[in-house]
Amino acid sequence: MELRLNDLTKTFGDFTAVDHVDLAMTNGVYGLLGVNGAGKTTLMRMLCTLIRPTEGTITYRGRDIFDMDGEYRKLLGYLPQEFGFYPEFTVQDYLLYIASIKGIRPAVARKRTKMLIQKVGLGKAANKKMKTLSGGMKRRAGIAQAMLNNPKILVLDEPTAGLDPNERIRFRNLISELSGERLVLLSTHIVSDIEYIANEIWLMKDGRIIRQGAVDQVIRSMPERVWSCRVEKRRVPPLVDRYRISNMKTEGEKVKLRVISSERPLQGAVPVKPTLEDVFLYYFGEKAGSEDYDKI
| Mean local confidence (pLDDT), 98-110 | 94
For the chain, what are the domain ranges?
3-220, 225-295
Q: Mean of the per-residue pLDDT values for the chain?
A: 90
User: For residues 43 and 32, is the Cβ–Cβ distance under 8 A?
Assistant: yes
pLDDT at residue 274 tops 50: yes
Q: How far apart are CA 80 and CA 39, in angstroms?
A: 14
| DSSP summary character for residue 268 | T
**Parallel/antiparallel/unpaired status of strands 76-79 and 153-157:** parallel
Per residue in 127-142, pLDDT tens?
A: 999 999 988 889 889 9
b vs e for 19-29, b when ≥16 Cβ sit within 10 Å of the residue's Cβ?
Answer: bebebebeeeb
Per-residue pLDDT at 279: 94
**Residue 192 in 3-state DSSP?**
helix
Are 112 and 99 a contacting pair, CB within 8 Å? yes
**Which is it for strands 254-261 and 200-205: parallel, antiparallel or unpaired?**
unpaired
The helix (H) or strand (E) run that includes residue 124 is: none
Q: In the predicted model, is pLDDT for residue 296 greater than 60?
A: no
The predicted pLDDT at position 187 comes to 92
Q: Which residues pair with 129 in a beta bridge?
A: 90
The pLDDT score that the predictor gives to residue 294 is 38
Helix (H) or strand (E) holding 204: strand 200-205
CATH: 3.40.50.300, 1.10.10.10, 1.20.58.220, 3.20.20.220. Which one for 3-220?
3.40.50.300
pLDDT per residue as tens digits for the range 199-253: 999 999 999 999 999 999 999 999 999 999 999 999 999 999 999 999 999 999 8
